Amino acid sequence: MAALALTFFIAAVAAAVILRNQDDDGRQGDRLPPTEARPATAAEGSLRIGVPELPATYNPFDIRARNPSAGQILSMVLPQLFDVTADGEIVGRLVEDASVVEQGRTVRFTLAEGARWSDGTPITASDLAFTLGVITSAGWPGPDAGYDLLTSVTGRGRDVTFRFSRRYPAWKRLFSGEDYVLPRHRLDGHDLTSAWAKGPDIGAGPYLLKGSTPGLNVILTANAEWWGGGPGVRDLEVVTVPDATTLQHLFEQGELDVAWMPAFTERIREMEAIEGAEVDVAAPGGRIVSLYFQTEKVPVDVRVASLDLVDRDRLTKVLLGGEADLATSWGRLREGGGWPRWYINADLAGELDERDMAFAIADEDPMASLVARALQHRARSTPLTFDAVRLPNHLLFGEWLPQGTFDLVAATEVQWPDPCWRCRFDSAFAGETNWSRVNDIDDLATQADLGNHEAAADLELELQRDAVMLPLWRPSAVVVTRNVAGVEASAWAPGPFWRVERWETTSDRSVQSTTSSG
């Protein structure tokens, strides 16, 4: 579970590792004082939030929950070690920032004082050790990149020690973002595939699951044992509104208090014109669209010719109307501007045989669909044909990608601000199918992870030449509110609920839910 938040498709499964857990603090049944770390005032009121989609399940052990919509809900319920601020700074959430000590392949830190599960049980090192064992087991549906380098989690109580097989500067991605810590005392010894069939029944975030109608709505209620301050609102009803025009209309009519809007300039202006509306637009960053080829099936000349069809300047400046910034580099900003413009090489195109490509796209991903249409349009004068196959998220990520069914995939990702090349490329699935192990790319990826900026730049060039990856743009995040304080758009988050515990109603009248929970 990298902090990428598309939501990325790597469904790698690794062999189990031996964990050494020295946490024998007798945590079972040990409850903290009920008033510790409580908010100064009780949460009150309810809010209704409109989002483009909701998942069919909130069971973290189900592949269908490995998407951004499930991730944003689960991140409110289950705890993460670190968070990313709106300006891209990584800060402690479950970790006390001042406690972090890095010594080579060893990292030591302290969990936040008062941190506990909603049943009152303290969060300790044993929860992290248990979570690592789950992630590196055969039953985990998400990726394990980075966790396979974490050889042990030890500690006692709040004190935690990570040991890695080699130095891993990107370790703050672990158990963070769309990743989380699991409660050992609740899940140990249970069948994980069925233990949380309806979603977590305990948590350690600001909110808890109260009920849901799969794909339609979910009800969350304030966690009385939340240790982080707040939340300020008692109940949240999150409803699915797939159409942006309908979302705008419902907000304008007062049916929604908060709306997570697509980042398009004209719609932002229309929302700003609504009486009482407050529109917050995040600074560009985090979200990009990439193209991935099945390198075992698609020859390098076809990959190069395919990416020659993509004019990144046109996609960002014309098709998107200037509403997004070029993703100039994953490592460091390239001197002198953006990406080079690529065009079809006439000689190379003339030598290509006719090829029909299966282009896989998540059916709820408008950015990827835009790229697919642009590719299809420009390919009309070449021997290449791109047949776009639209699939539900769970089918694309759960079957097509792990099984290598595709030729080409367009995927939207939410990045953390620090590049982690190994997180992206070195796993059982991605390492074999998304770039060739040639030209010492392994060594370059290792050096890039260790902070060698020159190696990161060289790696980027190698990946361009091999035609396997194409970052396109980083659109802004937009959230619209009425009579709600504390809501802030963050381009590093997969939805509108960044720091949701800070939200407060600013009016005696908040929209009341009329939808019963399932």
At 357-376, the pLDDT tens digits run 888 888 767 677 778 888 88
Mapping DSSP onto H, E and C, the string for 151-198 reads EEEEEECCEEEEEECCCCCCHHHCCCCCCCCCCHHHHCCCCHHHHCCC
Q: What is the pLDDT of residue 180?
A: 92
User: Which residues contact residue 52 at a Cβ distance below 8 angstroms, ignoring those fewer than 6 apart?
Assistant: 69, 240, 241, 242, 244, 247, 260, 262, 364
Q: Please compute Rg for the chain using Cα positions.
A: 23
- Report DSSP state, residue 144: -
Contact 161, 153 (CB under 8 A): yes
Q: Which of 50, 38, 75, 51 has its CA nearest to residue 231?
A: 38
Is 410 strand, coil or helix? strand
Contact 252, 274 (CB under 8 A): yes
At 31-67, the pLDDT tens digits run 333 333 334 345 788 999 999 888 889 999 988 887 7
Place of tokens 């730049």: 457
At 241-278, the pLDDT tens digits run 988 889 999 999 999 999 998 766 677 888 999 999 99
Sketch out the chain's domains with CATH numbers.
78-195 (3.90.76.10), 287-474 (3.10.105.10)
- Distance separating the N- and C-terminal Cα atoms of the chain: 28
User: Which residues contact residue 333 at a Cβ distance below 8 angstroms, ignoring those fewer than 6 apart?
Assistant: none
Burial class (CB in 10 A: 0-12, 13-18, 19+), 377: exposed
Q: If phi over 0 gives left and psi between -120 and 50 gives alpha, with beta otherwise, what is residue 259?
A: beta
Quote the CA–CA distance of 327 and 457 in Å, as a whole number: 14
Looking at 243-257, 299-313, 378-392, 479-493, which range is the least confident one?
299-313
Lookup: tokens for 114: 């008062």
The answer, yes or no, to whether residue 316 has pLDDT greater than 60, is yes
Quote the CA–CA distance of 240 and 418 in Å, as a whole number: 32
Q: What is the pLDDT of residue 109?
A: 97
- % pLDDT > 70, the chain: 66
Query: DSSP string covering 425-467, please?
Result: H-STTHHHHSS-S-TTHHHHHHHHHTT-HHHHHHHHHHHHHTT
Amino acid in position 11: A
The answer, yes or no, to whether residue 10 has pLDDT greater than 60, is no
Q: What is the pLDDT of residue 40?
A: 39
Quote the CA–CA distance of 313 and 319 in Å, as a whole number: 9
**CB-facing half-sphere around the CA of 211: CA atoms within 13 A:** 7
